[in-house]
Amino acid sequence: MTGVTLEQVKKKYGNVEVLHGIDLEITPGEFVVFVGPSGCGKSTLLRMIAGLEDISGGKISIDGQVVNQIPPSKRGIAMVFQTYALYPHMSVYDNMAFGMRIAKESKEEIDRRVRAAAEMLQITPYLDRLPKALSGGQRQRVAIGRAICRDPKVFLFDEPLSNLDAALRVATRIEIAKLNESMSDTTMIYVTHDQVEAMTLADRIVVLSGGYIEQVGAPLELYERPANLFVAQFIGSPAMNIMPVTITRTGETTEVELRDGTRFEVAVKTPESDKGKKASFGVRPEDVRQAEEGEKYLFEGKVSISEALGEVTLIYIEGELVDDDPIIVKLPGIHEVKTGSSMRFTADEPKLHLFDENGKSYLYR
């Protein structure tokens, strides 16, 4: 079993540094997903692990061995790309066998591995076809099959589903989850900007932004305890609502005041020195509910629009409580809501988040 360690890994293109000293320990057999907005450096980091990009600083180790100077073919990795990268003139079988033929494996061994991978991915009926006679999803499975045949110690995926349509994405995502179960000794590193893929596939997610790691954790840990405003708003859809507040009482629990003067308590510890300081209060759209008549409420606002999606109703509230983005409330089921009407909302205390003036969660201070 093989782990991957990154120590102070940096990447520069010319004078521009795009990764600023990444430290990460990926344990053997783990499925780690890199997520982050476009340009945050996630593909570059993956390509550096693969050996397809030079390392400008720091160390990358695979299985305890520093690989900075080791070529891709000697790193024990296999990579699946967004664009499949199949040879168009070769059959599916030959595409999958190609790497092993180069490595001078025996004919019998090649046949055994190609058929085993094809079985696992349910592409046996297509082994004689050319890639052009396959759908996008089938082509991607061939690309994954080719990677499996190499029997990699580390499996790297660079946005493998992003060229597929919605239904195929789901089906292929489930294939990859099954693959991960059947290859439980193989370490997998997966790049995506799709948070559903990240949440469903990962043992741990690494959230990147601007060439830095914002947080590393299990999917639900990031959802329930985001370390900062960036992660809070990146994980979860629609994004967490953020409202500017002032801290009016500190201690084991904290009282905050919204812009309209409403005060309430958040079950988060704050230091005395933060009394009177600006902070950001956060609550997820799905954690908000309508306050009962006479019940203490968190916030009140006029409905600017509502969307009934059947399974849920989304209510948008604009006004002084927020800066640019409206507050979004996601209520289960169908609700008749009048535009312009005033509504009061509340949420259970454990679902409330508080971030300091620098955007860092008070849970981690």
CB 206, min distance to ligand ATP, A: 12
> Is residue 209 at the binding interface for ligand ATP, with CB under 6 A as the rule?
no
Residues 94-123 that bind ligand ATP (CB under 6 A): none
Nearer to ligand ATP, 38 or 273 (CB): 38
State the DSSP H helix or E strand holding residue 196, giving kind and residue range, or none if neither.
helix 195-201
> Is residue 54 at the binding interface for ligand ATP, with CB under 6 A as the rule?
no
The residue count for the chain = 365
Tally Cβ neighbours within 10 Å of residue 352.
Answer: 20
> Is residue 12 at the binding interface for ligand ATP, with CB under 6 A as the rule?
no
> Is residue 277 at the binding interface for ligand ATP, with CB under 6 A as the rule?
no
The crossing angle, in degrees rounded to 10, of helices 107-120 and 136-149 is 140
Q: How far apart, in whole angstroms, are the C-alpha atoms of residue 345 and residue 292? A: 8
DSSP string, 177-195: HHHHHHTTTSEEEEE-S-H
Alpha-carbon torsion 99, 151, 70, 14, what sign?
positive
Peptide bond just before 238 cis, omega within 30 deg: yes
65-66 sheet: strands from edge to edge:
16-26, 4-13, 57-62, 65-66
> Is residue 332 at the binding interface for ligand ATP, with CB under 6 A as the rule?
no
State the DSSP H helix or E strand holding residue 352, giving kind and residue range, or none if neither.
none
Q: Which of 44, 180, 195, 228 binds ligand ATP (CB under 6 A)?
A: 44
Extract the tokens encoding 186. Answer: 């193989």
CB 155, min distance to ligand ATP, A: 18
> Is residue 41 at the binding interface for ligand ATP, with CB under 6 A as the rule?
yes
> Is residue 36 at the binding interface for ligand ATP, with CB under 6 A as the rule?
yes
Q: Which of 9, 31, 43, 285 binds ligand ATP (CB under 6 A)?
A: 43
CB 145, min distance to ligand ATP, A: 24
Is 349 in a helix, a strand, or coil?
helix
CA distances from 365 to 222, 238, 354 (A): 16, 26, 11
> Is residue 42 at the binding interface for ligand ATP, with CB under 6 A as the rule?
yes
> Is residue 289 at the binding interface for ligand ATP, with CB under 6 A as the rule?
no
Nearer to ligand ATP, 48 or 327 (CB): 48
Contact pattern from residue 124 through residue 163 relative to ligand ATP, giving x for each residue in contact according to CB under 6 A and a dash for the rest: ----------------------------------------
Q: Which of 35, 40, 179, 189 binds ligand ATP (CB under 6 A)?
A: 40
Interacting residue ranges for ligand ATP, rule: CB under 6 A? 13, 18, 36, 38-44, 193
